[in-house]
Amino acid sequence: MARQRLLGSILSRGGAQVLRNFQSFVQGTRLEYVSYSSPRNQMQAPPIVVMHDLNLSLESWRQVAVNLSHVGLRQVITVDARNHGLSPYITGHSPMHLAADVEALMSHQGLNKIVALGHGMGGRAMMTLALTQPQLVERVILVDITPAPVPSNFYLTRQVFEMMLQVAPNIPPNLSLSEGRTFILPLFQDVVHDASELRRIIYNLRKMQDNTFGWAVNPQAVLSSWGEMMINYEATLGGLRPYMGEVLLIAGAQSEFVTTTSIAVMQRYFPNTVVQILDAGHCVYEDQPEQFVELVVEFTQTCLVC
């Protein structure tokens, strides 16, 4: 059974710092996950737990997870975040909820510590976990995300989720899944100009058992926590002590998510951060998979708790 935890229980006893945004119980839910291991893995070492970005799923990490488990010394566990993929579609999608889900996974798997790896949305979940429950996190690996505000052009992503709510109910139910994807393509082409991002959105369309159409993501839940997750994330961290463990931030040189300013914000909460910038966009692990795996393997070679 998932554990119920009071996130932010590391409140400074001096009273000067107050965890205003964390003083409520958050119920973790059971996540869909896939575990990757090889004979060379040190099973006593904390595994690498990976949470994907918004509008993606654990499938997007499959090949990288296979490579990490075969080249590196750690078992790798990829998860579908709540309201994504095969994990439950439920109310609440704040970083606090997602962090509680990772803790619930750890409880279910009997894990005392993990290497917390997150991309975008998943990175913010892992940051929240490390800052509120540092005893559970051996190291942190963040992929093209910091606690700082997201790029100004990210408002288009919110527009996409709003469109998803409007579009799915209006797809004729007599269409097949492939026909439904063809039907919605021109609607999203007017808004999404990046070809790979457009493919992801179209691929996320699903045909339901009652012949209606839906998504492999819960747009209503995502939109309900948009402010906490995307716009005002740093405000949710008020009163938290910095995470003093080792942190690797892998950024894409062609992305706008990691800048000199955002790195400065990052170091306020994660002072022991090493930044590596690869010739890539926001999905660094897809654009530069070999370099990405090399960086992660090198960062996790030694076990701090074995």
- Over residues 106-155, the pLDDT tens digits come to 999 999 999 999 999 999 999 999 999 999 999 999 999 999 999 987 87
Q: Name the pTM for this structure.
A: 0.90
pLDDT reading at 8 higher than 60: no
What band does 201 get if pLDDT is binned at 50, 70 and 90?
Answer: very high
d(CA 191, CA 226): 19
pLDDT reading at 21 higher than 50: no
Mean pLDDT on 39-60: 94
What band does 295 get if pLDDT is binned at 50, 70 and 90?
Answer: very high
d(CA 57, CA 68): 18
Q: Which domains does the chain have, with CATH numbers?
A: 4-151+232-299 (3.40.50.1820), 152-223 (no CATH)
CA distances for 160 relative to 6, 135, 180, 206, angstroms: 33, 37, 17, 16
Q: What amino acid is encoded at 101 in this protein?
A: D
With both helix axes pointing from N to C terminus, report the angle between 289-299 and 62-71 in degrees, rounded to the nearest 10: 50
Higher pLDDT, 290 or 3: 290
4: which 2 tokens? 């119920």
Mean pLDDT on 63-68: 98
pLDDT reading at 49 higher than 90: yes
Higher pLDDT, 194 or 133: 133
H or E element: which one contains 298? Answer: helix 289-299
229: which 2 tokens? 């997750």
